[in-house]
Amino acid sequence: MVQGIYEDIAGTLRSHGLQVTSQRILIYDYLIHTREHPSAQQVFEDVFESLPGISKATVYNTLEVLSNHGLIQKININSGVTRYDGDTSVHSHLICTHCHRIIDYFDDSFLGLRVPENLWNGFEVKRTCVIFYGVCDSCREELAAQAKEKRKARKDCVVPFKRDLKQVDAWLTVKTKG
Amino acid sequence: MVQGIYEDIAGTLRSHGLQVTSQRILIYDYLIHTREHPSAQQVFEDVFESLPGISKATVYNTLEVLSNHGLIQKININSGVTRYDGDTSVHSHLICTHCHRIIDYFDDSFLGLRVPENLWNGFEVKRTCVIFYGVCDSCREELAAQAKEKRKARKDCVVPFKRDLKQVDAWLTVKTKG
DNA sequence: CTCTAATTTTAGAATGATTATAAGATATCA
DNA sequence: TGATATCTTATAATCATTCTAAAATTAGAG
Ligand SMILES: [Mn+2]
Ligand SMILES: [Mn+2]
Ligand SMILES: [Zn+2]
Ligand SMILES: [Zn+2]
């Protein structure tokens, strides 16, 4: 039961030749289940709750490793901070230029049209990125309600963020012995 | 200071309620005529040739002002530095993930498909951004050459292909002790 | 043209996200 | 269980960008 939660994540890490650590499990798990497209700082703060003492350097290292292995993706917006997305499926983003919220946008109708050709003037397209910049619902109505809205959005997440480190350790121990 | 060639630029600046300065004219003129999608640093270096003594702060200030008035556009790529484009017409970009070159891409066929709807779940789309990440012509050749070198190096290896298991064991032992 | 107020430029300092470093801790595998 | 490669951590370093306040310049009125 305890080990079941992280079975998939550990397997994924191993299949990519990565060592399994509690830090990596918690960060990857967090990114998979949040819809917030958090920054490194946000990842650090939220994972810190489950694993006090985790270093910000580890967060950056892990995000880089996961990104390089295609397990998560980076998102760059006009704000100077990189955001991270645990959802690597093909989808677009609506980005609010005011509050910098990033909303997932799935639209089958133009998925097939996104890569016009695979080779253009010698340029080989590997990945197509569609971003819709604009103003989100709450920002348009009232700018003052920003912080409150953000907190609410986080609360609405289907999966609780906080994880018990003991569960991870127990699982790791069982895994090691077995 | 303001000559005939820059009347258009000066007029544009004035029409946006901006004061006309040699710094603004030169920066805007530079951005309009280059296709390089330069960074602030590149703008600074190139404009410095025409106007020695210009400050980097002025470059940043001016780029911000021009951008806020829609006279130029910012481009964010996965590299930590903002790039600037004096062409504000609707077009997409091919971005080389290796050398960070940005190439203009005009394709009428999907222009109409880029904004699916103007309002989605309360989100008001203001601008759509399509970016094709990949590898440019010269970089692909370079990478191919590197791969070839690697293959060649492996081929040129003096160690015989077939190994004696005893030799390997001996080598490993020495390696371990040393 | 001259004067004045508002705006802009400037050098340098400050900020803040990210990366580099090197020592200590941990995971992996036989 | 022990050897070794890998990972984590605290801290320092980097570097693009923003801030600051004084000096210079612009625009407009007289
Ligand atoms: Mn997403
Ligand atoms: Mn362009
Ligand atoms: Zn918003
Ligand atoms: Zn390239």
Side chain identity, residue A139 = C
CB contact under 8 A, B125 and A105: no
* Other residues' Cβ atoms within 10 Å of the Cβ of residue B141: 12
Pick from B107, B116, B131: which is nearest to A109 by CB? B116
Q: Which nucleotide is nearest to B59 (CA to C1')?
A: C9
The total of structural domains in chain A comes to 1
CB contact under 8 A, B130 and A127: no
Task: Decide if B94 contacts A120 (C-beta within 8 A).
Answer: yes
Phi, psi of B123 (to 5 degrees): -90, 125
With bands split at pLDDT 50, 70 and 90, how would you rate the model's confidence at B77?
confident
Q: For chain A, say whether B122 makes contact (Cβ under 8 Å).
A: yes
Q: Measure the CA–CA gap between A91 and B16, rounded to whole angstroms.
A: 37
CB contact under 8 A, B126 and A94: no
CATH at residue A131: 1.10.10.10
> Which residue numbers in chain A have pLDDT < 70?
1-4, 108-119, 142-165, 168, 171-178
Minimum Cα–Cα distance from A114: chain B residue: B110
Structural domain including A122 reads 2-177
Question: For position B121, what pLDDT does the model report?
Answer: 78
Q: What is the mean pLDDT of residues B142-160?
A: 62
> Where do runs of H (alpha helix) occur along chain B?
7-15, 22-33, 40-50, 56-68, 137-156, 165-177
Pick from B109, B130, B134: which is nearest to A124 by CB? B134
| Cα-to-centroid distance, B18 and ligand 1 (Å) | 39
Question: For position A154, what pLDDT does the model report?
Answer: 47
Q: What is the mean pLDDT of chain B?
A: 80
Q: How many helices (H) and strands (E) does chain B have?
A: 6, 6
Q: What does each C-alpha distance from B4 to B7, B10, B25 come to in angstroms? A: 5, 10, 12
Output A174 or B50, whichever has higher pLDDT: B50
Pick from B122, B130, B131: which is nearest to A137 by CB? B122
Provide the 8-state DSSP code for B39: B
Q: Is the pLDDT of residue B174 over 60?
A: no
Tell me how close the Cα of A163 comes to any Cα of chain B, in angstroms: 31
Q: What is the mean pLDDT of residues B116-142?
A: 84
Note the CA–C1' distance, B53 to D22, in angstroms.
17
Helix axes A165-177, A4-15, angle to 10 degrees: 60
Question: For position A128, what pLDDT does the model report?
Answer: 84
Global confidence as pTM:
0.80
From the candidates B108, B109, B123, which should be mutated to test the interface with A, based on the most A CB atoms within 10 A? Answer: B123
Q: Specify the range with the lowest mean pLDDT, choosing from A76-80, B79-83, B130-134.
A: A76-80
**Bridge partners, residue A103, by sequence:** A94
Q: pLDDT tens, B87-123?
A: 999 888 999 998 999 999 887 666 555 556 666 778 8
Q: Which nucleotide is nearest to A10 (CA to C1')?
A: C27
